[in-house]
Chains A and B, each alone.
Chain A
Amino acid sequence: MTNPQTLTSSDRLDDIEHHFRVTAGPGSGKTHWLIGHVRQVAQESQRLTPCSRIGVISYTNIAVREIQRRLGAAADVTEVSTIHSFLFGYVVRPYLHLLKDSSGADVAAHHLVDTHSEHFIAHDVFDGWLDLYDRRQVLMQPNNLQLLKARLRGISVRIDTQGLPFHAPCKTEARDKHILDLLTPERLLEYKTQYWKRGHIDHGDVLYFAYRLLAEFPALRKFLSAKFPYLYSNSRSSNRWSA
């Protein structure tokens, strides 16, 4: 996109077949504009097959329902969802079985995975994980224990310089110094793995698995872009799709 265009919330694009990004301040009508655009695509597209949908990704379930309501007839050919439920339904749930660890075993007990939730700390997993590193004494130190649990609840997925995803705490401070040894990517992966083996995955895991699947099995993109020849993200973070 070399020459940015200026649009009002009722302007339409002549060309619906190229990637674009719309930037505007809060309340300036991005969502309104997007709904209009989806309706236009539903009417004009030559690439929507009887099995295809227009994908619209929004940030909250409330926003999802709001967009669905306002789409009108175009709702039939549109799938509005959050990034998590989109990736879970079309990438993680059907294809999690493809992901293997270094020994060739399944990364997760995929047959047990039928939903994703907030991360909750299961105490037997937690204790067992501490035992692995002979760090059970943390349990006796209320401050460190609370801090460690807070860090585990806030694990985020980052991408390293080689493009590989890894787990890291959202933030660390000086007072983390007694538990830092437990917050390395390897140990956090081990911690997560315990849940995956039980079929428990959280919202962050959905992004992690989806990222890995689309990176390790690029052929999947061809099928997803056939299913969703048009995919829009109505959110602050941009998600680009290669068609």
Chain B
Amino acid sequence: MYIARIRIQNYRCFKDSTVEFQPGLNVIIGENNAGKTTLLKALALVFDRRSQGRPTVHDFYSLLAPIDSPPRITISVMLRSSATDTPADRALVASWLTSLDTQWEARLTYTFFLPETDEAAFRDALNGTTDRTLFFEIIDEFLPKYVTRVYGGNPDTVVTADSDTLSKFDCQFLDALRDVESEMFSGRNPLLRSMLEEVLDIDKQDGEKRQLRSAFRERSKALRTELVGRLDTPRLFKLVSETGAGDGGTPTLDGGVQEGDLIAALRLFIERESFAFPATHQGLGYNNLIYISLLLASMSFRASEKRRGQNAAVFPMLLIEEPEAHLHPALQYKLLAHIVSRVEKEPHLNRQVFVTTHSTHVTSAARLAPIICLSVRESGEIGIAYPSRLFPDTDEGKESRAYVERYLDATKSAMLFAKATLLVEGIAEQMLVPAFASRDGRSFDEHHVAVVRVDGVTFKHFLPLFGAGVAANLLEHALHRRVACLVDADPSRKERGVDNARWKSCFPFQLDEDPASFDYRATSGVQQALIALIAVRATLAVFSGKKTLEYDLALANGGNALLVTGAMTHRDALKELCATPAPLPKKLEKQFEVDELASLDAIQNLDDRKINRFAATYLRCAENAKGEHAFALEKIIRTPPENSTPLRCPEYVAEAIKWVTVGTVQPISGAVTP
């Protein structure tokens, strides 16, 4: 059994939204105010009502338009059978079923409403107002009369769910502002205390337990007697007999220390290199980790039927806001990987875990399947995306899904969080495009644009996330974001009349030069397939230049020596080429095939010939040093040397930058947006 779906109506930022969950781990991501915390709180309202208290007037959907009747908050949760169902699961839902198929479903509905008897008074107070402020004031006035109910099964039959049965859900909620230190590190605190008491004599038989207990009492009694012996009580009680109060009896000291009293005196210490210090003096990160791990342990104790019998929890569930709090990225990854493995290995001890996060390390450890992405759509409604469900159920779709899962590291995870994404082929684009964007007042940081290097030409694998090739019925669960694919044009040609001839890369100036001997393609098959794939989605676009980033950069900046960096081969000769339209020196000529040189010389327009010759040479000389070269160029783009001509951004790159920065947040200052 697992919580398969939650529908939230009129609660905080949710007007009426349904979110689906999977068994085990669910990772909820999204920008601030997209509803992540509300989603967890809604779960807690159903399964851990006491901790959440009553909703206040601010918990009603804030854009609620004044209506004729008192608004209600409704949270409906659907439980569904799974392969690991136990008889306890079936007993738990015995009165709550809504579907009796083999894949049975049960429902719990939390509702916070004004009883019918007070509805007329509410309407009178409302007196037809359409003023939202007044409407909310009236809600506030009637709030003391609001009641809370949890119904089981078909909510129309209004059968209240038995609270004893509801208590079999053990729902632990760690909110973002958890005060780990005061909650955990003293035995006086109920949480640590109950955890310690859980493990007291945990594996002992009842008889042995009784023996240990009475032995403890004996010893504590001895201690007490010793202590009392050191107290000069007669002196203290002298006055008692003098005032005559002693007539009622003689005061003595009794009472003793039980295990629990001593547990309360314990403090959590951390021992490192044989030196112990109080846990309160340790870093917040490790303390958070200790806290979460102890909580997980205590949940398994509470779910242990062997230990707790009829009081055992049947459905332990954990809600954690930002498990990454104070944790180093490597520990974030480790913590989540640990939770994942627990959920997989001991599903009965942690049925479902719900995590909200802003951490790309957490998402990369969680992989794709558990991720639920919340975002505020332009309409103000909350959009809900399930990245892993978008891949078509075909061999290709499966391959894409596997590819994305395999390569979804922390850097690539950024695209799940960003407002727009730029997919690029290699490291040069990854470094230079953001540099151009930021120089031209469209900073990717401010616009929250993720730049993701797909390494090679595997764009297509990532695009289903954004709706390309996704079945129509799933489209609303795709990420509604702008995406630009920056793809090399990579023109090519193929010899005609030759069996098994292959497309071979060529220079743009070679295109259509000899149609009798070759077929030509101005852009690569990859680029053309991409254009076909994204055609259906207005938010996706493909941008290409003439050949590659280096080539197009050179075309856009012919004669600008800033382009030539120290990482390139033949840099002096290249610089010379920038300055004069001299013939190619011999060592540069050697970079080309004879036919390529012939094609260059065949360009009639001298300016064209000059600039293409430079671009082709530039490309060849940068090919072996892309990373280092890009690093140097990035610096020049961001902070051009004084008195130099700034590098121009190739037009297709500029278009791509515009695409991903339009319609996202307005930059903070000094930027131009069309």
Binding site for B on A (CB under 8 A): 47-52, 76-77, 89-90, 93-97, 110-111, 113, 217, 219-220, 222-224, 226-227, 229
Is there a chain A Cβ closer than 8 Å to B86's Cβ? yes
Enumerate chain A residues within 8 angstroms of B309, measured Cβ to Cβ. 50
Asked if B158 and A90 make an inter-chain contact with CB atoms under 8 angstroms apart, the answer reads no
Enumerate chain B residues within 8 angstroms of A52, measured Cβ to Cβ. 87-88, 91
Asked if B100 and A49 make an inter-chain contact with CB atoms under 8 angstroms apart, the answer reads no
13 A-B interface contacts by CB (under 8 A):
A48-B310, A49-B91, A49-B305, A50-B309, A51-B88, A93-B95, A94-B154, A95-B97, A96-B157, A217-B100, A220-B100, A226-B87, A226-B91
How far does the alpha carbon of A110 sit from the alpha carbon of B158 in the complex, in Å?
9
Enumerate chain A residues within 8 angstroms of B94, measured Cβ to Cβ. 51, 90, 223-224, 226-227
Known A49-B87, A49-B88, A219-B100; judge A94-B310 contact (CB<8 A). Answer: no
Name, among A48, A52, A94, the residue most crowded by chain B CB atoms within 10 Å (CB to CB): A94
Binds A, one of B311-319, B403-411, B471-479, B494-502: B311-319
Enumerate chain B residues within 8 angstroms of A89, measured Cβ to Cβ. 95
Enumerate chain A residues within 8 angstroms of B92, measured Cβ to Cβ. 51
Asked if A51 and B95 make an inter-chain contact with CB atoms under 8 angstroms apart, the answer reads no
How far does the alpha carbon of A89 sit from the alpha carbon of B165 in the complex, in Å?
14
Enumerate chain A residues within 8 angstroms of B312, measured Cβ to Cβ. 50
Is there a chain A Cβ closer than 8 Å to B323's Cβ? no
Enumerate chain A residues within 8 angstroms of B378, measured Cβ to Cβ. none
Enumerate chain A residues within 8 angstroms of B89, measured Cβ to Cβ. 226
Residue of B whose beta carbon sits closest to that of A53:
B91
Enumerate chain A residues within 8 angstroms of B434, measured Cβ to Cβ. none
Report, nearest first, the 3 A-B pairs whose CB atoms are least far apart: A49-B88, A226-B90, A51-B91
How far does the alpha carbon of A93 sit from the alpha carbon of B309 in the complex, in Å?
29
Asked if B91 and A227 make an inter-chain contact with CB atoms under 8 angstroms apart, the answer reads yes
Pick from A51, A110, A227: contact of B314, CB below 8 A.
A51
Pick from B90, B159, B305: contact of A50, CB below 8 A.
B305
Pick from B86, B95, B314: contact of A94, CB below 8 A.
B95
Number of residues on chain B facing chain A (CB within 8 A):
32
Known A50-B88, A52-B87; judge A97-B156 contact (CB<8 A). Answer: yes
Known A49-B305, A94-B157, A97-B154; judge A222-B90 contact (CB<8 A). Answer: yes
Q: Interface 1/0s, chain B 303-341, versus A by CB < 8 A?
A: 001001111111000000000000000000000000000
Asked if A93 and B88 make an inter-chain contact with CB atoms under 8 angstroms apart, the answer reads no
Residue of A whose beta carbon sits closest to that of B315:
A51
Residue of B whose beta carbon sits closest to that of A224:
B94
Asked if A49 and B156 make an inter-chain contact with CB atoms under 8 angstroms apart, the answer reads no
How far does the alpha carbon of A113 sit from the alpha carbon of B95 in the complex, in Å?
16
Residue of A whose beta carbon sits closest to that of B95:
A94
Asked if B157 and A51 make an inter-chain contact with CB atoms under 8 angstroms apart, the answer reads no
Enumerate chain A residues within 8 angstroms of B95, measured Cβ to Cβ. 89-90, 93-94, 227
Residues 89-111 (chain B) with a chain A CB within 8 angstroms: 89-97, 100-101, 104
Q: How far is the CB of A89 from chain B (nearest CB, A)?
A: 8
Residue of A whose beta carbon sits closest to that of B155:
A111
Is there a chain A Cβ closer than 8 Å to B461's Cβ? no
Q: Interface 1/0s, chain B 152-164, versus A by CB < 8 A?
A: 1110111100000
Enumerate chain A residues within 8 angstroms of B419, measured Cβ to Cβ. none
How far does the alpha carbon of A220 sit from the alpha carbon of B156 in the complex, in Å?
19
Is there a chain A Cβ closer than 8 Å to B546's Cβ? no
How far does the alpha carbon of A89 sit from the alpha carbon of B89 in the complex, in Å?
19
Q: How far is the CB of A201 from chain B (nearest CB, A)?
A: 13
Asked if B93 and A223 make an inter-chain contact with CB atoms under 8 angstroms apart, the answer reads yes
Asked if B156 and A223 make an inter-chain contact with CB atoms under 8 angstroms apart, the answer reads no
Is there a chain A Cβ closer than 8 Å to B351's Cβ? no
Asked if A93 and B159 make an inter-chain contact with CB atoms under 8 angstroms apart, the answer reads yes
Asked if A110 and B168 make an inter-chain contact with CB atoms under 8 angstroms apart, the answer reads no
Pick from A48, A77, A111, A229: contact of B157, CB below 8 A.
A111
Enumerate chain B residues within 8 angstroms of A219, measured Cβ to Cβ. 100-101, 104
Name, among A48, A217, A227, the residue most crowded by chain B CB atoms within 10 Å (CB to CB): A227
* Other A-B pairs beyond A50-B305, A50-B311, A226-B90, 11, CB < 8 Å: A49-B314, A50-B310, A51-B88, A51-B165, A76-B310, A94-B96, A94-B153, A95-B153, A97-B154, A226-B87, A226-B94
Pick from B97, B165, B168: contact of A223, CB below 8 A.
B97
Residue of B whose beta carbon sits closest to that of A42:
B310
Enumerate chain B residues within 8 angstroms of A96, measured Cβ to Cβ. 157
How far does the alpha carbon of A96 sit from the alpha carbon of B159 in the complex, in Å?
11
Known A219-B100, A223-B97; judge A97-B157 contact (CB<8 A). Answer: yes
Q: How far is the CB of B335 from chain A (nearest CB, A)?
A: 29
Asked if B91 and A110 make an inter-chain contact with CB atoms under 8 angstroms apart, the answer reads no
